[in-house]
Amino acid sequence: MIRLIKPDASFESEFLDMISEWKDSGEEFIPWSLNLDTTDFNAMIDKLNGYSNGIGLKDGFVECSTYWLINENNKILGAIDIRHRLNEKLLYRGGHIGYGIRPSERKKGYATQMLYLALNICKTIGISKVLITCDKNNIGSSKVIINNGGILDSEGTENGEVFQRYWINLI
């Protein structure tokens, strides 16, 4: 039994454990919300909650809701960011959703389930067509998107890297 929850200060230990695991892996933190300063955990939670209401956004950012995927033991398995709308940059690359599963929990189907749950949230926000992008060489992510109804729209290049753009219709 897994579910998405809004960031919550009572999960500080679990969150920091996930961040530590990610750091040890040497991999990039995805989604971007995992890069926030955790020194003052309550302030980080407040910042994330503010972003979902358009408060405290940096230039070029849009309203964004962050959720953590937890299992029945309240272990944080991953995180997902849902952008409520697209600006020109996100329409090209970035899309509505960014997500990641902690390294030790990958290849267990969690990303597919997390995206499925997030798509239901997108409907409640009023998003009827969701754009998700991923690096072309990230086969796992493209499978997650396709398994949730993603249709490849196009490919692009940014900083010498090829990425793919998928659309998911929620109607």
pLDDT in tens, 102-146: 999 999 999 999 999 999 999 999 999 999 999 999 999 999 999
**Domain assignment of residue 107, yes or no:** yes
Q: Give the pTM.
A: 0.96
Q: What is the pLDDT of residues 11-67, one digit of tens each?
A: 999 999 999 999 999 999 999 999 999 999 999 999 999 999 999 999 999 999 999
**Domain assignment of residue 84, yes or no:** yes
**Domain assignment of residue 23, yes or no:** yes
| CATH number of the domain that residue 42 is part of | 3.40.630.30
> Distance (Å, rounded) from C-alpha 149 to C-alpha 128?
13
Torsion over CA: 144, 114, 84, 26 (sign): negative
Q: Are 110 and 48 in contact (CB under 8 A)?
A: no
162 CB-near residues (< 8 Å, 6+ apart): 135, 136, 137, 155, 156
Amino acid at site 143: K
With cut-offs at 50, 70 and 90, classify the pLDDT of residue 157.
Answer: very high
**Domain assignment of residue 13, yes or no:** yes
Cis amide prior to 31 (ω within 30 degrees)? yes
Percentage of the chain beyond pLDDT 90 is: 98
98 CB-near residues (< 8 Å, 6+ apart): 30, 31, 32, 80, 81, 83
Which residue reads 């796992």 in tokens? 140
151 CB-near residues (< 8 Å, 6+ apart): 166, 167, 168, 169
Domain count for the chain: 1
Q: Which domain holds residue 95?
A: 3-127
**Domain assignment of residue 40, yes or no:** yes
**Domain assignment of residue 136, yes or no:** no
The 10 Å Cβ neighbour count of residue 55 is: 11
**Domain assignment of residue 58, yes or no:** yes
**Domain assignment of residue 135, yes or no:** no
